[in-house]
Amino acid sequence: MKNIILIVDDNPELINGVKLTLEMEGHQVLSAKHGKEALEVLERITPDLILTDIMMPEMDGYEFYERVHADERWVKIPFIFLTAKTDQADIRRGKEMGVDDYITKPFEPDDIIAAIRGRMKRMAQVTTKSTSFWDQKVGPIPIAGLIALGLIALLVLASIPLFSGGSAGTMRQPRADVGEMITIPAGDFIMGDAALGEQQVLNLAEFQIDKYEVVNAQYQQFAEETGHKAPWGTYPAAQADYPVTGISWEDAASYCEWAGKRLPSETEWEKAARGEEGWLYPWGDTWQDDLANTQEGGVSLQPVGSYEGGASPYGVHDMAGNAAEWVEDWFNADQSAKVIRGGSAHAVKRWAQTFSRNQAPATFQLESLGFRCAN
């Protein structure tokens, strides 16, 4: 079930990053620059949860909270402060006011996801409505069960280092064809979302793109040879051929340059994913759960190439789910965010459509965000 979440913050980069995280979880996201603008949003639509900064122009978070909770229409909306105010006095003030959670900056995207899931769970425990979020199912499995399994998996992963400090000889090698590139022939292809009136026929010259997303073992070699910081320090040997994630766009571009390659353009990525027929998914126009690693499957990242039947018409793997992928292009004219493609294991299936696109600042890092290279 999709929840509507209102983010209130005067930092557009933060809003873009949080928006990406929440949208990939399947939420609908609204935003406002300060409390006064947020009140105008509330007059039009009532969100399921509010995330707000405290220090903002026009109307700060404290006043905004008081105004919201003085109105019987909005008094039950869960409220989370997301702020750089880390003094214990500030935290106590927030708790005394009655906010549901208090997240301090800088924060990890998973902090927000966990806070929202926790609050939604508490809401579900005090409601008897059959339409409750936690009463819904994905197939035969209750969403509550999937989320609990997901949180357990995150806790397990958090306790395991990601890049192994051991020698290369003790480390399981990735699959033999990691690093292979697929040649995408020159010619026309269909790009864009027909439902939005954005579909067009484009012509691209021949290019090459990695068969798989860049994996941990590849990135470790890059880190060792260049001194570039690895995303999580170490990784278990068994995850040598898992896609490397927690990678900023800048990290991805640096790796591709080191490898003598480059990041694919958005048009190249889409052609490699959907082929000349303009398919909705890499394998065709009909969704199939067993062909892509998305949130519907209820599992975390998998080794690259685990969903062989979901390869694109050209034989490029994992372009729907597993790890989302950075591409070269800017999302907007002011160059405040880069384009992200391909959905992920943590994202609902609509982001796995071949034309779906999202955005985040170039410095943004996420547990489910990686990349592949082109030439």
| φ, ψ dihedrals at 374, nearest 5° | -135, 175
Taking residues 224-243, report their average pLDDT. 87
Higher pLDDT, 178 or 121: 178
How far is residue 84's CA from residue 103's CA, in Å, rounded to a whole number? 9
Q: What is the DSSP string of 121-182?
A: HHHHHT---TT-GGG-EETTEEHHHHHHHHHHHHHHHHTS-SB--S-GGGSPPPPTTTT-EE
Whether the CB-CB separation of 16 and 45 falls below 8 Å is answered with no
Mean pLDDT score, 157-161: 43
Question: For 347-366, how does the pLDDT look when each residue is reduced to its tens digit (9 = 90+)?
Answer: 888 889 999 998 888 988 88
Q: Looking at residue 263, what is its pLDDT?
A: 98
Average pLDDT over residues 271-289: 94
Provide the pLDDT confidence category of residue 130 given band limits of 50, 70 and 90: very low
> Collapsing DSSP states into helix, strand and coil, what is residue 274?
helix
In a 13 Å sphere around the CA of 72, the CA atoms on its Cβ side amount to 0
Question: Burial, 212: exposed, middle or buried (Cβ in 10 Å; 0-12, 13-18, 19+)?
Answer: buried
Higher pLDDT, 103 or 312: 312
Q: pLDDT exceeding 90 applies to what percent of the chain?
A: 43
- Span 270-287, mean pLDDT? 95
Give the chain's end-to-end CA distance (angstroms, integer): 40
How confident is residue 235, by pLDDT bands cut at 50, 70 and 90?
confident
Does the pLDDT value for residue 109 go beyond 90?
no
Rounding to the nearest 10 degrees, give the CA dihedral for residues 113, 117, 120, 122: -130
pLDDT score at 73: 86
Q: Which residues contact 108 (CB under 8 A, 6 or more apart)?
A: none
- Angle 325-162-174 (CA atoms, 0-180°, nearest 5)? 70
Nearest to 276 by CA among 248, 246, 304, 312: 312
- Structural domains in the chain? 4-158 (3.40.50.2300), 168-370 (3.90.1580.10)
| pLDDT, tens only, 19-55 | 888 887 778 888 899 999 999 989 888 888 999 888 8
pLDDT value at position 45? 86
- pLDDT value, residue 164: 39
Per-residue model confidence (pLDDT) at position 353 = 94
Cβ contact 76:103 at 8 Å:
no
Where is pLDDT greater, at 233 or 75?
75
As a whole number, mean pLDDT of residues 181-198 equals: 92
Please return the burial class of 201, using the count of CB atoms within 10 Å of its CB with bins 0-12, 13-18 and 19+: exposed
Pick from 283, 268, 275, 285: nearest CA to 325: 268
Please tell me which of 77-91, 135-149, 342-356 the model is most confident about, judged by mean pLDDT.
Answer: 342-356
Q: Which residue has the tokens 């026309």?
A: 188
pLDDT value for 299: 82
| Average pLDDT of the chain, as a whole number | 83
Q: What is the pLDDT of residue 19?
A: 84
